[in-house]
Chain A
Amino acid sequence: MDLIDLIYSNVKPGTLSPVVYEITDILQTTLSYISKALANGYDSFLVGGTYLSKNTIHFLLDFAFYYPLFMAYLWMIGALIYYFHWERKSSYQTDQVPELSSYPPVSIIIPCHNEGKDITETIEYLLHQKYPDFEIIAVNDGSTDDSLEHLIRLSHQHKQVRVINLEHNQGKAVALNTGALFSKHEFLICIDGDALLAPEATAWMMRHFLNGPRVAAVTGNPRIRTRSTLLGKIQVGEFSAIIGLIKRAQRIYGRLFTVSGVVAGFRKSALQRVGYWSNDMLTEDIDISWKLQLDHWDIRYEPNALCWILMPETYRGLWRQRLRWAQGGSEVLLRYFRKLGLWKSRRMWPVYLEYFISVFWSYTMMLTFVLWIVGYFFVDLPEELFIPSLLPSWGGVLLGMTCLLQFAISLAIDSRYEKGIARVYYWMIWYPLAYWIIAVFTTFVGLIKALLKKRNTRAIWTSPDRGIR
């Protein structure tokens, strides 16, 4: 029976082919056809071409189906290893302050662009940090609202608060660089202007800097505040069941794809070595993570360093945000492509490969989808290009089960950080499906935008949607 019929037939229990054999088969056949074609001329090359295109399409379909499934398991396994190694035995609860060997002073930097509505809350919350010595530097990046007035008032009220005013909007990277330049201390914690940093978070992050001289950055655990809508609830689950699992699994690979721009701590001497944040990248957080790790620094994830954040609750807001992430990822993929060829960059290969394959996967999905629509609704495609159905058979059951398992594991790990999180799962047991669908479209568009972007274009920010309040 034909492979495609087996995988995508909808009634009989189908078989799922061993992809590895298929790849070898395709390679072997390709070679033999090329040699035959060279020997016999054009006719046999045509026959070979047909065989090859048919098998390539089959292989791509298999890949499209298996890739997200296997990635889900890789993340789950990675997260479980992380959990058993670091989290389970931790003697502290999240809301306890860990004891440190010393307490070097810290500068907390907050870049703000039109944060008038939220900045007072952010700074007043920050003042409750359970850490002996810290300054707060608010960098007003050319806001057109009343952010600066709020900041000046706060700096009068609180001796820790300082204000840097950038007279014109320069973008988040320049705001962070300027904050780092005028900060007094070696350790920086950078949070967004609308984020609330849990009082224990500074101590949790500093623990890593003190334990490891190789540690250049520590990323915290963002928790969603805006939960009124379906989108809000979904993102709560997404951050714990997908993003949290990915971060843990990547710590097991040894390298992180990115710190969370909304909450991350940095060692200034490491930043100095890599030239601080780049002002021409759309996502400065992904870029700085790559620069630091390519310079052989470590980046750690600290799930106890909670930071409460506002997220988009409109479909347009979510699309824009995800597109920005995807474009930023692709920009990094393109910029550091050459450096990755070096043997000394080998520790970055797993993360690079994961992202590269996911971009390739998005394009494969798009191709499959387009072929299916064309073949089903418009024209009779040749047999080798015809996609019988997008719906898998037994594979579907496995997909459904994978969703359940992924949530069960993330729930077991994540309930340590937030009680009652199980409630949101009712809303989103199907979400991993939607997550992959969103990834297909944003990655597809994001790569094109990254390729078409003019070099050295300054990234100036615009305020995102912050949910309904």
Chain B
Amino acid sequence: MRPLIIDSPNLQSLKQKYLSTLLTFVFWVIWLYLWMPLITLIGWWTGIDLFYVHMIKLNGNQLLYQDLFFFLKGISLLGSTLAIWALYNYFRFRKVDRRTALPPVKNEQLSAFFGIEKDNLHNLQDTKYISVYFDQDGQITETRNNDALAK
């Protein structure tokens, strides 16, 4: 048997290898690019006077706080809605199960639904090897018990 986890990069074609490397590189660059403002900020920080001008004098920090505050508000609103909903469901349904268990499906129900004779169905449910034929609409037209054939 093959191992549960199949990790054999050597089976890749050369094209696959190059393409994977390229894609990983491109997306890492994009991902790192997302951090540009932070890198810029660190740049400003190292030139303290510029940082002071932009962030304190020109109120740049206010804009940053506004952004963060808006995000936190949004996330808290979403998260607390979900948490309240979960709590409501927990307390409402903790001890209630209004649906009583249905009895298992009977062969009468199955044979009526699938249009197959009940005795035949009962017999086929104990068969090891069955052949089934269908019409254009996926309805069963014929069934065969192949157990005798298989032996």
Contact = CB atoms under 8 A, between A and B. Distances in A.
A467 B8 CA distance: 11
Contacts of A308: 4-5
Interface string A155-197: 1100001111111101100100110011110100000000010
Contact of B79 (A74, A164, A181): A74
A246 interface: no
B6 A272 contact: no
Contacts of A177: 114
Contact of A228 (B6, B33, B104, B127): B6
Name which of B6, B23, B60, B101 has the most chain A CB atoms within 10 A of its CB. Answer: B6
Contacts of B132: 164-167, 178
Contacts of A214: 97, 99
A430 interface: yes
A227 B1 CA distance: 17
A196 B70 CA distance: 46
Which applies to chain B's interface (DSSP): helix, strand, loop or mixed?
A: helix
Contacts, number: 210
Interface string B86-122: 1001100000010111111100011001101000010
B56 interface: no
A356 interface: no
Contacts of B104: 186, 268-269
A182 B83 CA distance: 44
A379 interface: no
A398 interface: yes
A81 interface: yes
A160 B64 CA distance: 65
Given A74-B78, A227-B6, A275 B40 contact: no
B63 A77 contact: no
B57 interface: no
Contacts of B12: 228-229, 468
A225 B9 CA distance: 13
Given A168-B134, A181-B110, 17 more contacts: A13-B63, A66-B74, A70-B78, A74-B78, A121-B1, A125-B1, A164-B131, A165-B132, A167-B133, A167-B134, A182-B130, A228-B9, A230-B23, A276-B113, A392-B34, A403-B31, A433-B30
